[in-house]
Chain A
Amino acid sequence: MQIDLKNIVPIPLKDKFSKRGSDIWNRELSFSSGEWVKVKAPSGTGKTTFIHILYKLRGDYEGSVCWQRKELRQISGDELASLRQHKLSVVFQDLRLFPNLTARENIELKRVMQAPVCESVMIDEMAERLGITHILQQRAGLCSYGEQQRVAIVRSLMQPFDWLLMDEPFSHLDQDNISRAAALIEEECSKRKAGFLLTDLDEDAHFKYSRFLNL
């Protein structure tokens, strides 16, 4: 599934962005399916804004975003839900787990939201790999940020997708955990022949990126 961006500029940050160069803001560019894209940017330059625009959480921007040549603004309701269930997965920077559900329930929710593509045991396998088996029965609200982040990663891998959007997905993890999570993500993306778009503050070598962009 191809993503085309045409001169997008977030309206609240318009003045700020127009003064400096960017590989994304106010440019025409497209991502073809299967690309592994790294977006590097310092704090406050709109990484989260960018992810939210792509995921259609906000619409206060100029220009246009097209998913598979369809203008994102025209996708809504059940169609948008279908896109998020089958084509597009996400790891939010602020994680967005349900604090009152257990870690397992948070993951399970995303597994059964559409016709499941993963077996339920996959939750245990992935949890095992990321070292969060012991907190699966714990309420997500009681988990540490690092644990919550890994739960959010596992959750994002429970559904079918063509693109995985990740907004600083490793911000609360140590090197060891990062490499384990990255390995899992890489595996799952390869399995689905899916592309991903990862934003982070610094350079890194967690993945074999096919493209680097500066925001």
Chain B
Amino acid sequence: MLNQLLKKLIRTGSGRTRFILAIVGLSVALLLILSAVQLQSNYNDLLHSKTNQDSIANFLVINKAVTDKTVGATSLTDAEITDLKRQPFVDEMGVLTPSRFKVAAQSISDKIPFYSDIFFESVPDEFIDVKSDDWKWDEHSNFIPMIVPNQFLDMYNFGFATSQDLPQLTQELVKSLPIEIRIKDVIGRVTYYGKVVGFSDRISSVLVPQPFMDWANKEYGTTVSSKASRVVIRTKDPGNPELVGYLKDHGLTTDADKTRFSKYRQVVDTVVTISWFTGAVMLLFALLIFTLFIQLTVASCKEEINLLITLGTAPKQLQRFLMNQFFPPNILIVALTLIVLAVLQLLLKYFLEAQHIYISSFIAASTFVAAVFILAVLWLVNAMTIKKYIAATA
């Protein structure tokens, strides 16, 4: 009831257009700032998540450089592995286990005939960039899942197939192709079926699940436990001079040029920075307009506020009333911005999914925290401005 009377006395309607402009400005500012937070969060997700097929995080396969001196002695000692693991630039490290038995693969299909001696390697699952439900093995499994390097298929399709007049193969076709795996043991050959379940850009080797490797090495292993000669590490920045220096000092070398990822990173950083900066500046201006608007309202109702206070209206009552007039639009804006952002995130997810980049369908907790934080700042600025001008009028 008091509020209805106050509404009649303190008209907040004057300068509506300015208020709406301020609201639009604030919405854009919020969208920019929260997008920046969300982008950063998505980017961090990509950097750290284990589920991305083409993760932006950097994995390096490291081995000793083969030179005249190291020929035949490229295995890594335990001390070398432990030392590498201790380095600050190494987030995680996995050892590539080589097969210790002879193995050959042969096509069952007549249309695509091939036979080749091959070798297997295995690595802990978190270093694998392929997601597949078939990537598991136990002694009762019908087939051995394999992950092969993309380059193999490229070499076949663009080199071998064209020169030998053989059909080119798609990834899907290769995945559906049954392959006979022959493992040589002491008395002869044992035959298994294998299936390619994915293609990897990360480790240039034919990968099999770790449990199969452990089992097969025990069962068919001919050479005595061979030491690991390759390890894979995860690092945040492959361009880190420390890392490069360490590898050089220890006679180690790595594959792949990873500059592609550095480029992604630069783009994301730039976008995030611009978004942040623009958003922050706009937020500042929106706050300024809000402050001016409150000042204007209080000034235009100076006489009414004066008399209200003379009659015993508490400054607290007036502050609460004005707060109720000015603040709720802010909550609405923040809520709307979050909804818009959630929709954008979902669209982005579908867009990136098509490119085998996986991000969350939902906006991040950090975005919510940022939204609540901005809301708190808005509340504080509103409350302080109202308090100041009421006190100045009274």
Q: Residues of A with Cβ closer than 8 Å to B?
A: 57, 77-78, 81-85, 96, 98, 100-101, 105, 108-110, 112-114, 159
Residue A101 contacts which of B9, B309, B315 (CB distance < 8 angstroms)? Answer: B9
Quote the shortest CB–CB distance from A122 to chain B (angstroms): 15
- Which residue of A57, A82, A98, A110 has the most chain B CB atoms within 10 A of its CB atom? A98
- Which residue of B5, B9, B309, B315 has the most chain A CB atoms within 10 A of its CB atom? B5
CB atoms of B316 and A113 under 8 A apart: no
Query: A113 with B313: in contact, given A96-B307, A98-B307, A108-B1 (CB under 8 Å)?
Result: yes
CB atoms of A101 and B313 under 8 A apart: no
- Chain A residues within an 8 Å CB radius of B8: 100-101, 105
CB atoms of A108 and B311 under 8 A apart: no
11 additional A-B pairs beyond A85-B314, A96-B307, A98-B307, beta carbons within 8 Å, are A77-B394, A78-B316, A81-B312, A82-B314, A100-B8, A105-B5, A112-B1, A112-B5, A113-B311, A114-B312, A159-B312
Interface of B, helix, strand, loop or mixed by DSSP? helix
Quote the shortest CB–CB distance from B57 to chain A (angstroms): 57
Quote the shortest CB–CB distance from B125 to chain A (angstroms): 65
User: 10 closest A-B pairs (Cβ-Cβ)?
Assistant: A84-B312, A81-B314, A112-B1, A85-B312, A112-B2, A78-B314, A109-B5, A78-B316, A81-B312, A77-B315
CB atoms of A113 and B2 under 8 A apart: yes
* B185 lies within 8 A of chain A by Cβ: no
From B311, which residue of chain A is reached at the shortest CB distance?
Answer: A110
Q: Residues of B with Cβ closer than 8 Å to A?
A: 1-2, 5, 8-9, 304, 307, 309-317, 394
In the bound complex, CA of A201 to CA of B54 (Å)? 94
- Chain A residues within an 8 Å CB radius of B314: 77-78, 81-82, 85
Query: A113 with B304: in contact, given A105-B8, A108-B5 (CB under 8 Å)?
Result: no
CB atoms of A98 and B313 under 8 A apart: no
- Chain A residues within an 8 Å CB radius of B5: 101, 105, 108-109, 112
From A57, which residue of chain B is reached at the shortest CB distance?
Answer: B310
- Chain B residues within an 8 Å CB radius of A77: 314-315, 394
Quote the shortest CB–CB distance from B241 to chain A (angstroms): 62
- Which residue of A78, A100, A105, A113 has the most chain B CB atoms within 10 A of its CB atom? A113
In the bound complex, CA of A82 to CA of B309 (Å)? 11
In the bound complex, CA of A57 to CA of B311 (Å)? 11
From A82, which residue of chain B is reached at the shortest CB distance?
Answer: B314
Interface of A, helix, strand, loop or mixed by DSSP? helix
CB atoms of B317 and A98 under 8 A apart: no
Quote the shortest CB–CB distance from B348 to chain A (angstroms): 50
Quote the shortest CB–CB distance from A51 to chain B (angstroms): 12
In the bound complex, CA of A105 to CA of B310 (Å)? 17
From B6, which residue of chain A is reached at the shortest CB distance?
Answer: A109
In the bound complex, CA of A83 to CA of B314 (Å)? 10
In the bound complex, CA of A77 to CA of B318 (Å)? 11
CB atoms of A109 and B311 under 8 A apart: yes
Quote the shortest CB–CB distance from A55 to chain B (angstroms): 8
- Chain A residues within an 8 Å CB radius of B311: 84, 96, 109-110, 113
- Chain A residues within an 8 Å CB radius of B317: 81, 113
In the bound complex, CA of A100 to CA of B317 (Å)? 21
From B391, which residue of chain A is reached at the shortest CB distance?
Answer: A77
From B1, which residue of chain A is reached at the shortest CB distance?
Answer: A112
In the bound complex, CA of A96 to CA of B310 (Å)? 9
In the bound complex, CA of A108 to CA of B8 (Å)? 13
CB atoms of A98 and B9 under 8 A apart: yes
Quote the shortest CB–CB distance from B306 to chain A (angstroms): 10
In the bound complex, CA of A45 to CA of B358 (Å)? 86
From B2, which residue of chain A is reached at the shortest CB distance?
Answer: A112
In the bound complex, CA of A82 to CA of B2 (Å)? 16
Quote the shortest CB–CB distance from A207 to chain B (angstroms): 24
In the bound complex, CA of A114 to CA of B2 (Å)? 9
Residue A109 contacts which of B2, B309, B310, B394 (CB distance < 8 angstroms)? Answer: B2
- Chain A residues within an 8 Å CB radius of B315: 77-78, 81
Quote the shortest CB–CB distance from B321 to chain A (angstroms): 12
Quote the shortest CB–CB distance from B300 to chain A (angstroms): 13
From A85, which residue of chain B is reached at the shortest CB distance?
Answer: B312
- Chain B residues within an 8 Å CB radius of A159: 312
Quote the shortest CB–CB distance from B368 to chain A (angstroms): 35
Quote the shortest CB–CB distance from B323 to chain A (angstroms): 15
Quote the shortest CB–CB distance from A118 to chain B (angstroms): 13
- Chain A residues within an 8 Å CB radius of B394: 77
From A110, which residue of chain B is reached at the shortest CB distance?
Answer: B311
From A111, which residue of chain B is reached at the shortest CB distance?
Answer: B1
- Chain A residues within an 8 Å CB radius of B307: 96, 98
In the bound complex, CA of A96 to CA of B309 (Å)? 12
- Chain A residues within an 8 Å CB radius of B309: 81
In the bound complex, CA of A57 to CA of B316 (Å)? 19
Can you list 12 A-B pairs with a CB-CB distance of less than 8 A?
A: A81-B309, A81-B317, A85-B312, A96-B307, A98-B304, A101-B8, A105-B8, A108-B5, A109-B5, A109-B311, A110-B311, A113-B317
- Which residue of B312, B316, B317 has the most chain A CB atoms within 10 A of its CB atom? B312
Quote the shortest CB–CB distance from B14 to chain A (angstroms): 14
- Chain B residues within an 8 Å CB radius of A108: 1, 5
In the bound complex, CA of A100 to CA of B9 (Å)? 8
In the bound complex, CA of A21 to CA of B173 (Å)? 116
- Chain B residues within an 8 Å CB radius of A84: 311-312
- Chain B residues within an 8 Å CB radius of A82: 314
From B307, which residue of chain A is reached at the shortest CB distance?
Answer: A96
